[in-house]
Amino acid sequence: MVRFKQNNIAIVGAGPSGVYCALNILKEFKERKFNSFTVTLFDKSEPLKTLLKTGGGRCNITNSISDIKDFASNYPRGEKFLYSLFSRHSNIDTINYFSSIGIKTYTQSDNRVFPVSNSAKYVRNKMLDELFKSKNIKIVKKRINSIKDIQNFDAIVVSNGSKDSENLIKSTGQKYIPFKKALCSLIINDFDCPMGVSVKSLDGEFIFTKNAISGPLAFKISSINAFKSFPYDIKINLFESEKLLDLAKKYPKKSIGNLVSSFIPRALAKRTVKNFDINAAEASKNILKSYSFLTLNVKAASPSGEIVNAGGIDLCAVDKNCKSKTTDNLWFCGEILNIDGFCGGFNLQNCWSSAYVVAIDVVSFIIKKNNGVV
């Protein structure tokens, strides 16, 4: 039997995608009773450090939406590519895997899935404990600046996220889309933001910070518009005019300002309703319906504090296993791919699913190179 060099696998980046890929490589080799390999995880920092801040420290592992297409519709970039990844490793497969290593989960009423421990630190520790059970794993604290630094490895997985990866991507020669901030707050300069006020609008929830809007709706808007140039217009539907008309009929002596304050916080109503003190009876139906306070019209001036980045390895440059179409031993998984989702566990699920698919393909590649002899 001719061994394929030393069966050395390099994974660059020990974030969620890199570590999950390593765990599944170990599992797959074990199931295929193949033991002569080494997985080296390179990270410039501590392994799974990025997981610690997820979900506000609780780690929103995934989302419970059961239909693959519905699930994938939560990704402004990568939707169709993900059908194939999710069909091979879904949110349920992820939940089952985590359960198998002692991470039990629960689902919130909004479909977000969290560990029962409510602790990202617990998830991190359990994943690392599982990793260190294997003698085939090595973690090396090192920044990889170029693919040339690891060219002696038989298989290379690049999973170093989107924050510091452009140089490494360029060194691989793969086609990529420059990163843009997504899931971020939006700085607003043309409106006096009532700081700390949170709003449940018809389009979703958001919160005003000092000079920005933040929270789920702001993140969603920023994500959809990730490749739009700043400044751009935002229109948020605050509440239904019909409901205001009903109230106006019921309480004709109340001021419009007070009526509007039953749908949106008073601090916001004060800033949006011009004639706050006019009685409802004095305002005609048309005026009530056409009042600008039904929508919040502002300009997003710039992004602030991104959670993920849009952009990354062009999905046309990889096959369905996230393997480079031009380099025989190179794979990508996680946020470095041009895939990003909304808030709700979707970004981590991209990491888990792409990492799993890569792991299975890497193992097949190594075993095949060993002439199929295990």
List 219's β-bridge partners, or say none. none
Cα 154 vs. chain centroid, distance in angstroms? 30
Binding site for ligand FAD (CB under 6 A): 12-18, 42-45, 49-50, 53-55, 59-60, 143-144, 159-161, 163-165, 168, 307-308, 334-335, 345-348, 351
Pairing of strands 232-237, 295-304: antiparallel
Query: Residues 304-340, buried b or exposed e (16+ Cβ, 10 A)?
Result: bebbbbbbbbebebbeebbbbeeeebbbbbbbbbbbb
CA distance 7 to 367: 9
Looking at residue 210, what DSSP letter applies?
A: S
- Specify the residue, 44 or 299, whose C-beta has the smaller distance to ligand FAD: 44
**Residue with Cβ nearer ligand FAD (168 or 362):** 168
Of 72 and 351, the one with the shorter C-beta distance to ligand FAD is 351
Token pair 């050395």 in the structure block, residue: 8
Which residue, 44 or 200, is less far from ligand FAD as judged by CB? Answer: 44
Please identify the residue of the shown chain whose CB is closest to the bound ligand FAD.
15
Please state the closest distance from residue 163 (CB atom) to ligand FAD, in A: 6
Closer to ligand FAD by Cβ: residue 36 or 66: 66
CB of 77 to ligand FAD, least distance (A): 13
Structure tokens at 99: 């359960």
Would you say 60 or 329 has its CB closer to ligand FAD? 60
From the CB of 145, what's the least distance to ligand FAD, in Å?
6
Q: Measured between alpha carbons, how far is 297 from 234 in angstroms, rounded to an integer? A: 6
CB of 123 to ligand FAD, least distance (A): 10
Shortest gap between Cβ of 153 and ligand FAD (angstroms)?
14
| Distance in Å, CB of 297 to ligand FAD, minimum | 29
139 Cβ contact list (under 8 Å, min separation 6): 14, 40, 41, 43, 47, 131
